[in-house]
Amino acid sequence: MQNPLLAPFDTPFNTIPFDKIKVEHFIPALQEAIEQGKKEIQQITTNTAPATFDNTVVALEQAGSLVEIVASTLFNLNYAETTPAIQQVAREASPLLTEYRNDITLNEALFSRVKQVYEQQGTYTLNAEQTMLLEKTYKGFTRNGAKLADKEKQRLREIDKRLSEAALQFSENVLHETNDFTLHIIQEEDLAGLPDSAIEIAKMTAQERDLEGWAFTTHYPSFHPFITYADNRALRKKMYLAHMTKACKGNAHDNQALVKELVQLRHERAQLLGYTTHAAFALEERMAGSVEKVSAFLQDILQYAKPIAAQQIEEVAAYAKANGLGEERLQRWDLAYYSEKLKKEKYAIDDEILRPYFPLENVIKGVFLVAEKLFNLSFTPNTDIPVYHPDVTAYEVTDHQGKHWGVFYADFFPREGKKGGAWMTSYREQHKKEGKDIRPLVSIVCNFSKPTETKPSLLTFQEVTTLFHEFGHALHGMLAEGTYQSVSGTNVYWDFVELPSQLMENWCYEKECLDLFARHFETDEPIPQELIERIKESANFLQGFATIRQLGFGFLDMAWYGEAHQQVEDVFDFESKALSTTALFPSIEGVNMSCQFNHIFAGGYAAGYYSYKWAEVLDADAFEYFKEKGIFNAEVAESFRKNILAKGGSEHPMTLYKRFRGQAPSVKPLLKRSGLLEEAKI
């Protein structure tokens, strides 16, 4: 019987046949795909014709396409719908893929041909995208050991293999710790303060686990309302500590050793390649360019944000003292609780006032309407497209002329097989082959509150912005119009990739946008104008603290990867020192961020977490342009589509941004939006 991962997919738009794939299909499919990829590489290296852009660089770009399909399907499922069996397969597949990719980048004959093309590029007539592909291909070899001696190449292989294994284990440990904790409540009085929606979901969670009473977890839809509304301070503390002590408790799923190993291996790898640190290696391919520039950038914003953040925490502390905390010191498990009450008192607004206006189905329709108004896109559910879980909906994406742009998968609810957080990913990226435009298969995965017996899924305003954020990434993938996959869609500099996503969040604060979809789930009344005004007025509430928190993660990331430090002895001590400049609360024994920081240890953000704040400068500046012309202005939207979304990584991001904006970005709109402008004195 033909392996469904290898056969031509008999599905609409050649989508992944999730309904036919079984766990046992992955390793045989991957092994066969790798063999096919190796043959394609061999055809390049044994070609007796002189090396050219087409017969070497383009041929290499197109080689191994089946490997990417099989691998992306496996690892996307490992994040969104995993099982112990899939985790085991991922552990087996990871070293196979690492070895395959190293076989390519360390292939001397292949590099020799690429090098010939690179050194003779002046004799070719290449457009900007082809030049970028050639540059990226050549650097892909040199930055992965092509110039190393044989002994060093072997060590690089060993490092890469272990890095892939360790990162996977890190992520699995965090997921296990997340799933392992349940706050089981029997006494109804312990639910005091919690909104009915949170109580109802907790009741459902308990029933799913064959428990009496109510069950809360550290998944965001459960954790967030509990830490924000539960009157029982001792239980808030218990929940907070469960959340912030994941994978650092000295048990079988402790990540402390893996943190140290991952840092050390990345550092050794960078030095093998001639860089002082992993950050120096990573930032060579970023807009920021250097550790010094990132540090200066973070410090620059810190000087404006920290005084305001300190004032904001003092205000919450004073409010807490006067409203029940007494002489106790404000702690991290108190912040959300008292700040939400203070926010409601100051602005007459909180999550529970807003949630009825944001049923998930309406928000989905809303984000689709925004895409239609900006980019003339339509999203049509297609039940013939196979999905990997009943919660997932697949949509065909077309424009008003009927052109097919891609397939969009939406997966919104938490479950044990899904890691926490929210992300966008692709099963197939846009590219052109043999004159045919291969359209992308794009997915966004979130963890929103499930519908209950009495209510639909009602989103907090933060969840609304999260959906818009991930959808911005999806648009970047879906509206790509590149020729080469490596520089198409979201394959851009890491500190540029967050621009489309963060830009989309801005629409959530605008009346013209909210009027499209924000309607009460019971009465169908549109969100009142006064609530919209309060959303905008309260947008900067605790923004200084939120900025400091984000900067802290950036400083922690750069401390791990930007310094040529010796072997770290104590992960807790190292983290405490790294976060000292942004600390606004007393340290708490046993709490550690690094051990659950998937972004920088198991994701792609090692030495790149600063990029969220970097991209905020870009998105605030870009939205300022939209506001000047109108948030649904067709000309500005078309310029953004044509110069940013369609272009992917085909040119340097600053070139693309200036082409869209007509000028370099200014930090002023970000400081203004965040309420830091007065402090900035600009």
245-254 residues labelled b (16+ CB within 10 A) or e (exposed): bbbbeeeebb
**Separation between Cα atoms, residue 82 and residue 93, nearest integer Å:** 14
Catalytic annotation, pick one of 61, 470, 498, 651: 470
Q: CA nearest 486: which of 524, 534, 435, 430?
A: 430
CB 600 within 8 A of CB 266: no
Cα end-to-end distance, the chain, whole Å: 68
Count of CB atoms within 10 A of residue 432's CB?
Answer: 14
Q: Is 369 exposed, middle or buried (0-12, 13-18, 19+ CB in 10 A)?
A: middle
H-helix or E-strand containing 653? helix 653-661
Among 432, 381, 376, 389, which residue's Cα sits nearest to residue 408? Answer: 381
3 state SS of 124: coil
Contact by Cβ (8 Å): 493, 285? yes
CB atoms under 10 Å from CB of 577, counted, come to 12
Backbone angles phi, psi at 436, to 5 degrees: -105, 135
Contact 157, 102 (CB under 8 A): yes
Residues in Cβ contact with 578 at an 8 Å cutoff, skipping those fewer than 6 apart: 555, 556, 559, 560
**Strand locations in 341-476, DSSP E?**
377-381, 393-399, 404-411, 423-428, 431-433, 436-438, 441-445
Q: Is 416 a catalytic residue?
A: no
The dihedral built from the CA positions of residue 630, 635, 640 and 646, taken in this order, carries a sign that is positive
CA-nearest of 250, 221, 225 to 235 is: 225
Q: What angle do CA 53, 57, 58 make, to 5 degrees?
A: 90
What residues does 157 pair with on adjacent strands?
none
* Cα pseudo-dihedral 274, 63, 95, 389, rounded to 10: 130
- Please count the helices (runs of H) and the strands (runs of E) in the chain: 28, 9
DSSP secondary structure code for residue 255 in this structure: -
What's the residue count for the chain?
682
Rounded to 5 degrees, what are φ and ψ at 256?
-60, -45
Neighbours of 654 (CB within 10 A): 14
Angle at 495 between CA 493 and CA 499, to 5 degrees: 100
Helix (H) or strand (E) holding 39: helix 26-45
Q: How far apart are CA 431 and CA 483, in angstroms?
A: 5
CA dist 410 → 145, 459, 463, 530 (Å): 39, 15, 14, 32
Strand pairing category for 441-445 and 404-411 = parallel
- How far, in Å, CA of 294 to CA of 132, rounded? 24
* Cβ contact 136:493 at 8 Å: no
Given CA atoms 112, 113, 116, 119 in this order, what sign does their dihedral have? Answer: negative
Catalytic (active-site) positions: 470
